[in-house]
Amino acid sequence: MTALRWCFAAAAFLAPGPALAVCGVQLQGVSFGAIDVMRRQESTGSVRVSCDKPAAFLVEIGGGVSGGERRMHAAGGGSLRYELYADPANSHVWGDGQTVGSPVGGSSDGASPQTFTIYGVIPSQPGTLPGTYMDSPLVTLSF
């Protein structure tokens, strides 16, 4: 009788579960264009998530090259602070939950893509050198 129970438990453990969704991400980066370092600048980008089956997910945006505090860097060595937010009021810092901010949650019905707006802000930073500044934060979809 014990052997029969063991076989049943093993079969239940090895049985396949429901198929996982396949999801994809399309990213439109935040571009600030020409920056006036004497005043605050704002711009937007977006993350679009599509899944082939219903699924709950988290969209994470890493801290970029600097890790913690977000900074864009110029080839000449200058840096420029910036932040990414999940809301137009700039109250929810969008991050990865580890180095900066917290992820944004969402869900897919398996048919319609869901689009999230990224709100980028560069505070005024007098004394910053002119130049071309860039950063490459990693966007991760967890589901």
For 22, list phi and psi in degrees, rounded to 5.
-110, 120
d(C-alpha 69, C-alpha 15), whole Å = 46
d(C-alpha 61, C-alpha 111), whole Å = 24
Residue-wise pLDDT tens digits, 111-125: 999 999 999 999 999
Q: What are 39's two structure tokens? A: 């005043």
pTM here is 0.82
Beta bridge partners, 138, equal none
Beta bridge partners, 140, equal 60
Residue-wise pLDDT tens digits, 74-97: 887 888 999 999 999 999 999 999
